[in-house]
Amino acid sequence: MKLTILSLFPEILKTYFEASIMKRAVAAGHVEYSLVNIRDYATDKHHKCDDEVFGGGAGMLMKPEPLDKALEAAGSPGIRTVYVTPSGRLLTQSYAEELSREAGLVILCGRYEGVDQRIIESRITDEISIGDYVLSSGEVAALVLVDAIYRLMPGVISGESLEEESFSKGLLEYPQYTRPALYDTIRVPDVVLSGNHAQIARWRLKASILKTLAYRPELLTKDNLAEDIARLLREAIDEGGWHEPGTVHSSRTNEE
């Protein structure tokens, strides 16, 4: 995938592409990227990219001319072009999957109060919000979007990791443990150490359902709450339900 990210502060984005899994994805040719400084497309002598909002209101807006030129140079229209904004459509896993199938993406990072609406109408195909909160930096939102997308591309991370995610689709992930089996006074649940894969899978599914019920009950829809899952849920509740972090071992903390 060819990614072109337009920003007033491309230096915020740079290191992300130079480390860890993304670095490997770039080296392997899965991802090609270009970080564009919008200011390079401002033609006045001060390279001005923002201006006051017509009709009044706090803050400044990104001016249309530099954005229009930068987007034109990036190949838009003609390529899927995302503007990351808190007033966009909410990013979900299925939306990320859809975008991961594109051969190229242009991403525009907003700053200040946002961008002139005429740019959105003429150049943008997708307005995307990463969540119901407001960030001061569109760059952070753009990186969240890129991270959600590129890891789904074939070859970037192991198929097994993705399979595990799709198996428990729509549910929150179960708790996981590593060595040592006894840490401080807290032991890994026996079933997780049992080596019995069927029982471990059943324990994990139950834990996923309980955690989802506790934190994100709206995710338990008819689709993922099939009859066998509903039965597991009843069993899991009978066995003690979900414990908020800090509640199981709170007596030990109190004694200290």
Cα dist from 143 to 7, 153, 218, 227, whole Å = 12, 16, 27, 38
CA angle 113, 128, 43 (to 5 degrees): 50
Q: Which of 53, 73, 79, 135 binds ligand ADE (CB under 6 A)?
A: 135
Q: In the structure encoding, which two tokens stand for residue 97, read together?
A: 């999957």
What is the SS3 assignment for 79?
Answer: coil
CA gyration radius, the chain: 23
What's the min distance (Å) between Cβ of 222 and ligand ADE? 29
What's the min distance (Å) between Cβ of 111 and ligand ADE? 9
Is there binding between residue 129 and ligand ADE (CB under 6 A)?
yes
The window from 129-137, 147-155, 176-184, 208-216 that contacts ligand ADE (CB under 6 A) reads 129-137
Q: Which of 44, 103, 95, 40 is nearest to 71 (CA)?
A: 40
Is there binding between residue 127 and ligand ADE (CB under 6 A)?
no
What's the min distance (Å) between Cβ of 116 and ligand ADE? 16
Is the backbone peptide bond immediately before 66 cis, with ω within 30 degrees of 0?
A: no
Q: Which of 59, 77, 78, 131 binds ligand ADE (CB under 6 A)?
A: 131
What's the min distance (Å) between Cβ of 96 and ligand ADE? 14
In this structure, the number of other CB atoms found within 10 A of the CB of residue 137 comes to 16
Q: Which of 89, 94, 179, 97 is nearest to 141 (CA)?
A: 89
Is there binding between residue 134 and ligand ADE (CB under 6 A)?
yes
The window from 79-87, 188-196, 231-239, 247-255 that contacts ligand ADE (CB under 6 A) reads 79-87
What's the min distance (Å) between Cβ of 124 and ligand ADE? 13
Which amino acid is residue 185, in one-letter code? T
- How far apart, in whole angstroms, are the C-alpha atoms of residue 146 and residue 140? 10
Is there binding between residue 85 and ligand ADE (CB under 6 A)?
yes
> Which residue lies nearer to ligand ADE by CB, 144 or 191?
144
Asked if 138 and 85 touch (Cβ cutoff 8 Å), the reply is yes
Binding mask 87-126 for ligand ADE (x = CB under 6 A): -----------------------x----------------
Q: Given the rule CB under 6 A, which residues bind ligand ADE?
A: 84-86, 110, 129-131, 133-135, 138, 141
